[in-house]
Amino acid sequence: MSVTIYDIAREAGVSIATVSRVFNNSSSVSDKAKGKVLEIADRLGYHPQAMAQGLARKKSKLISAIVPVISNYFFMEVLEGIQNRLTELDYDLNFYNIKSTESIYNQVEYTLKRGMAEGYLIISVHFSEKEWSNLKKYDVPIVLIDEYSSDFDSVSVDSIEGAYNATQYFIQNGYNKISMISAVPNSKPSRDRILGYRRALEDAGQIVEESLIVTGNCLDRDGFTERNGYEAMQKILALDPMPDSIFCNSDIQAIGALKAMQDAGVQLPILGFDDIEFSEFFGLSTMRQPMREMGNMAVEKLLERINNREKGITHTVFSPELIIRTTSEPVNVVV
C-alpha cells in the first residue's frame, strides 16, 4: 500500500498535522520536526495524494480542456499554450475530446457536472446562446476559446476583421475577382470570415458574387481539411471566367488548394488563415492567429475567474496579423 501521512507521522513521532504542514510549507514548523519529516518522507517515497488533498481543500488543481477533436493544428497549438502556462502555475490539465457520435451539448454538460476540475476551457465548440446560458447553472468557472457567448469569459480572434483585411489586401493590389474558400456554414469562424470578405468587397464597391464563395465536398472537421481545399480549388478552377485571387478560410485548406493549382498547372495568388506551423515552410501568406498566446491568455482568465467568481465577464479579442509570404504574390511559388 502507498505510504500516507500517518505512516510518516508515526515514524517521526509527530502529529499528522505537522506532517501536513511541512508539505504545505504553510505555517511554521520547527526545523527539527521539518528535517525529520522530510527525511522519512523521502526514505519512504511519500508524496501527498492529490485526491485527498483535493477533497480536503475543496480544490483539485486541475483544469479541463474540452476540444472537438484533438488532431488539428489549431487545437494542438492552443493546447500547447494552455498546457505550458498551466504547468508553470502548478495546475494539471486533463482533456476531453468530444465524440462526434453523441450530442456535443450532453458531453459538455456531463463533463461540467462531474465537477472534477476547478475550471474549464472550452475550445471551438459552438452552442446557441440558450444552450450556453443553460450551462451557466453549473456555476463553474469557464472560459471559451475561439467562441463567444455573453455568459462567459472568452478569448478569440476577430475573424471578421481578419477576413476583411485579407480581402482588402487583394483589393488594394488591384484584384477585382476575389474568390473565397469557405467551410461548413454552421461553423462560426467560417461564417465570420465570409462576412469580413463580403464587407471588404462591398466597401470597395465590388459586387459580391455568391458563386465565388465555394467549399469542397469533403466536410470532415467542418471542412477544415486539405482535401476540402483541394476540391474547392478544383471548383474554382472550373469557373469561367476564373477568379484572379483566393482568400481561404484556413491554412490547411489553402495547402490543399495550392496542390490543386499545381496539379492543374495554374497559379493564382492565395492567402490563408491561421498560420499553422506548416505555413511558413510552404511560403503561405496568411492571417495569423496567435494560438499559443490565446491558450496562455485563456488560462490567465480562467484562474482569475476561479479566484474571483464575481468579477465582470470579459471578452478578449486578438486582431489577427497579416503575414505576407510568397503565395499571395502575382506569381506565387507553390510547393
Partner DNA sequence: CTGAAAGCGCTTACAG
Nearest CB to a second copy, comparing residues 84 and 319: 84
**Minimum distance from residue 88 beta carbon to a second copy (Å):** 9
C-alpha cell at 51: 485526491
C-alpha cell at 195: 462576412
Please give the Cα distance from 230 to 248 (Å, whole number): 11
Residue of 206, 85, 230, 231 whose CA lies nearest to 145: 85
17 binds DNA (CB under 7 A): yes
**Minimum distance from residue 61 beta carbon to DNA (Å):** 11
186 binds, among DNA, a second copy, none (CB under 5 to 8 A by kind): none
Candidates 80-88, 125-133, 194-202, 266-274; binding stretch for a second copy (CB under 8 A): 80-88
By three-state DSSP, how is residue 269 classified?
Answer: coil
Candidates 7-15, 67-75, 152-160, 305-313; binding stretch for a second copy (CB under 8 A): 67-75
What character string, x for contact with a second copy (CB under 8 A) and - otherwise, covers 171-210?
----------------------------------------
27 binds DNA (CB under 7 A): yes
Can you tell me which of 104, 116, 208, 323 binds a second copy, judged by CB under 8 A? 116
What character string, x for contact with a second copy (CB under 8 A) and - otherwise, covers 241-280?
---------------x-xx--x--------------xx--
**Minimum distance from residue 230 beta carbon to a second copy (Å):** 8
Report the largest interatomic distance among the alpha carbons of the chain, rounded to a whole angstrom: 88
2 binds DNA (CB under 7 A): yes
116 binds DNA (CB under 7 A): no
Bridge partners (DSSP) of residue 272 are: 286
> Which residue in this structure is represented by grid cell 490543386?
260
94 binds a second copy (CB under 8 A): yes
Contacts of 28 (CB under 8 A, 6+ apart): none
Please give the Cα distance from 277 to 282 (Å, whole number): 9
C-alpha cell at 4: 500516507
- Whether 152 contacts 160, CB under 8 Å: no
Candidates 12-20, 32-40, 52-60, 121-129; binding stretch for a second copy (CB under 8 A): 52-60
28 binds, among a second copy, DNA, none (CB under 5 to 8 A by kind): DNA
- Whether 117 contacts 82, CB under 8 Å: no
Q: Which helix (H) or strand (E) holds 251?
A: helix 251-264
Nearest CB to DNA, comparing residues 49 and 314: 49
Task: Fill in the DSSP letter of residue 212.
Answer: G
Phi, psi for residue 262 in degrees, rounded to 5? -65, -45
Can you tell me which of 10, 15, 102, 264 binds DNA, judged by CB under 7 A? 15
Can you tell me which of 6, 10, 15, 99 binds a second copy, judged by CB under 8 A? 99
Phi, psi for residue 143 in degrees, rounded to 5? -130, 140
By three-state DSSP, how is residue 304 classified?
Answer: helix
18 binds DNA (CB under 7 A): yes
Can you tell me which of 15, 39, 51, 314 binds a second copy, judged by CB under 8 A? 51
- Whether 326 contacts 283, CB under 8 Å: yes
Give the Cβ contact number of residue 122 at 10 Å. Answer: 28
Can you tell me which of 25, 32, 71, 207 binds DNA, judged by CB under 7 A? 32
C-alpha cell at 316: 478578449
Using CB under 8 A as the criterion, which residues of the chain lie in contact with a second copy when the complex forms?
2, 45, 47-52, 54-55, 60, 62, 69-71, 73, 76-77, 79-80, 83-84, 87, 92-97, 99, 113-116, 137-139, 226-227, 230, 256, 258-259, 262, 277-278, 281-282, 335
